[in-house]
Structure 1
């Protein structure tokens, strides 16, 4: 990110933040959902999965959600809830980008902020790694409160820091065409109901297969088409399901994102609002069918 682009992006962020004081979360999510689905929704009485995700963003401000969305704090939650998965080893924590001494970091590492999505910087080789570009990206991310751009309440009150984690090579000795880079386990009322398996082939094209908890391919798609390859059930799939349910216990809905590295399972994050409640589900009638799994009682915890 060069200096001019950085200034422009920050100005755009400030404009969105300013607009947030004049537009309610209810209006924001209603209009955004209409743009993505083509249907006008009553988010006070939600029916579909997307509507229920938006409803919770607007009306249910449980402080637990902030804790779970904080990529640093949630590590404590994971360690307390399950022994079946690992958190990615943490190298260091920084309050600002200027504190990072790149010269002491290992050959491969990952930098990301704890309070947002999209700030991740991956280094797979110190040779040619642009430290200035990485630092500028993280500086901008630290200044931005994600709530004002996406209206996801759980991110609003997280104190931002930068995390440096070890790099986990998920594809070492594996065929990436047949190896899921992420399992995203959708849990309703503590029960794992279906799983997204994410793939990126050798050409960089993305695919998502949706399976039930018995690894049977489901008749709907989320965001991306199915991979053309027949995918075998991962060896650690059952452990991933069990661990996800241990993490999701007591939560009406969440998505537990896990990385599989052969027989090891690494925690990625607990996602409370996939795609900000604007998931592309095909065929579209599955949005309502998935919504039936979530027995949500509409609440209004604040003026919307």
Structure 2
């Protein structure tokens, strides 16, 4: 993790004394450059902030836990779509490197940005990996953006299979933005740690504008041959939820579940060019986002 990111994580952790709503309003204005309206939220990002403060469905904690969510996925769509699991550990000291294959992935169950990839065990610096994971295990991700679902997750580490997509250094992410069980937008992220190419598509795979409100000049991400199955899987997992982003991988024609996200970018990611605030896409997604107004505020 870059020094700038580590500093930001540490800073937010030290701002716990600031009430949630005040903190959220500050970050929203600083990052999105328009005033947050929590009384009448309209845009996608505004409604994500509202959910942080008011939508406290206990199932969300299970669904964002990278280990506990596996039971939910198994019940909804079957375990054939789960990435093979090598182990789950309460402490980094419990990880036995000798028991892991040559390629694997380590990640914490309770946060974001703690993923460690090993593609060659003979060159893998396990001590550095353990140091990073120890730090992550001591961090409550809730304090980074006041994302309620992460507040009470038990911090653990999982070891999973490394997914190898031919022609890619890292597998392409397919992120399905779903509202009330129906996909409204698909985001693709290819080569995210090298020449990152992010693109947006409609559920019918028509290309949309990217984060600068312009269609990517790169070759459009190819529509997977099994896209219909991927869409079906995403919508099955999203059923019964006002909004969730379901992330999938597609390895040689086989879909794999990645994760479920309820606060994309913490609700602070722009969809717009700064001279046009808020952007059409931010508004369009907001229009499709029916808030669970009958939820008891907590």
TM-score (norm 2): 0.89
The 2-side partners of 1:188 and 1:50 are apart by 14
Contact 2:54 2:296 in 1 (8 A): yes
Contact 1:84 1:239 in 2 (8 A): no
**Residue of 172, 185, 197 corresponding to 1:194:** 185
- What does residue range 210-249 of structure 1 map to in structure 2 within 5 Å? 210-221=200-211, 226=216, 228-249=218-239
State yes or no: 1:154 paired with 2:144: no
- What does residue range 131-146 of structure 1 map to in structure 2 within 5 Å? 131-146=126-141
Residue number in structure 2 paired with 1:74:
69
Indicate the SS of the match to 1:93.
Answer: strand
The 2-side partners of 1:275 and 1:195 are apart by 15
Cα pair distance change 1:240/1:302, threshold 3 Å: same
Shift of 1:223: 9.5
Residue number in structure 2 paired with 1:130:
125
State yes or no: 1:204 paired with 2:194: yes
Contact 1:88 1:165 in 2 (8 A): yes
Which string of whole-angstrom CA distances, capped at 9 and with x for unpartnered residues, describes residues 122-152 of structure 1?
0000122101000001111111111112211
Which string of whole-angstrom CA distances, capped at 9 and with x for unpartnered residues, describes residues 149-185 of structure 1?
2211111101111101111102x2x3x49x9701000
State yes or no: 1:289 paired with 2:280: no
- Taking only aligned residues, the RMSD between alpha carbons, in angstroms, comes to 2.6
State yes or no: 1:19 paired with 2:15: yes
Shift of 1:298: 4.4
Residue number in structure 2 paired with 1:185:
176
The 2-side partners of 1:46 and 1:85 are apart by 39
Residue number in structure 1 paired with 2:37:
42
Indicate the SS of the match to 1:127.
Answer: helix
Indicate the SS of the match to 2:288.
Answer: coil
Indicate the SS of the match to 2:259.
Answer: strand
The 1-side partners of 2:118 and 2:226 are apart by 27
Is there any run of 5+ residues in structure 1 with no aligned partner, and where?
A: none
The 2-side partners of 1:11 and 1:245 are apart by 34
Residue number in structure 1 paired with 2:276:
none
TM-score (norm 1): 0.88
Q: How many residues align structurally?
A: 290
Cα pair distance change 1:232/1:83, threshold 3 Å: same
Contact 1:26 1:43 in 2 (8 A): no
Indicate the SS of the match to 1:267.
Answer: strand
